Amino acid sequence: MGKKIHTLGCCGLDCGLCPRFFTEGASRCPGCCGVDFENKHPSCSFITCCVKKKGLEVCGECNEFPCRKFDKETGEADSFITHRRVMQNQRLIRESGIAAFLEQQNRRMNFLNTMLECYDDGKSKSFYCLSAALLSLKSLDESLIKADSEIAEKPIGKEDFKSKARVMKEILNQFADEEREELKLRKAKK
């Protein structure tokens, strides 16, 4: 049995909200176990155990979850910020099932697609990916409404993506502050 859902990593990572998932060209990641995944990510102990040995989609479906692979709490110390949601995603899947998680993830992906189509100035993809992965769905929905309202009140043209991105990023940062989320990349520790 192979992995069917490529937007969700075995480890619980939201692959469908990653900037590399939305990249064009050779550096594009196909998502967990997607086409050509093994050439881009040659070894993954989560895939070996979860998919190849146990035939599962995600670790949260396993009777042994959380196992020692999660002992290092993939999150706070990792520079890949969306790892912060790995355990939360696994617990949601465990408690509510994959269908409930995928419904939520699809809403987040729709938000992200809207951001990329309507508010991307060519420099904001990573920021929008982080926002879609880390902020609450309520904040994401409200940010679209608030941004559209503010843009309509200002003399911002439909094709002025730089100004639209500035408005949207300011609003998302306000929601991030309220939720105590960090939407900035961390510098690697020396």
The full set of domain ranges for the chain reads 1-96, 107-190
The per-residue pLDDT for range 122-140, each reduced to its tens digit, is 999 989 999 999 999 999 9
If pLDDT is split at 50, 70 and 90, which confidence band does 112 have? very high
Identify which has the larger pLDDT, 188 or 122: 122
Beta carbons of 3 and 32 less than 8 angstroms apart: yes
* Residue 15 Cα to chain centre, angstroms: 6
pLDDT reading at 105 higher than 70: yes
Bond prior to 66 in cis (omega within 30° of 0): yes
Beta-carbon count within 10 A of 19 CB? 16
The per-residue pLDDT for range 48-104, each reduced to its tens digit, is 898 899 999 999 898 988 888 777 645 444 455 667 788 889 999 999 999 999 999
What is the model's pLDDT at position 13? 87
Instruction: Say which residues have a Cβ less than 8 Å from residue 46's Cβ, sequence separation at least 6.
Output: 9, 10, 11, 59, 69
What is the model's pLDDT at position 188? 42
pTM of the model: 0.85
Per the listing, tokens 């419904």 go with 103
Instruction: Using alpha carbons, select from 83, 67, 63 the residue that is nearest to residue 75.
Output: 83
Cα–Cα distance for residue pair 162/145, rounded to 1 Å: 18
Backbone CA torsion sign across 31, 109, 86, 104: negative
Identify which has the larger pLDDT, 188 or 5: 5
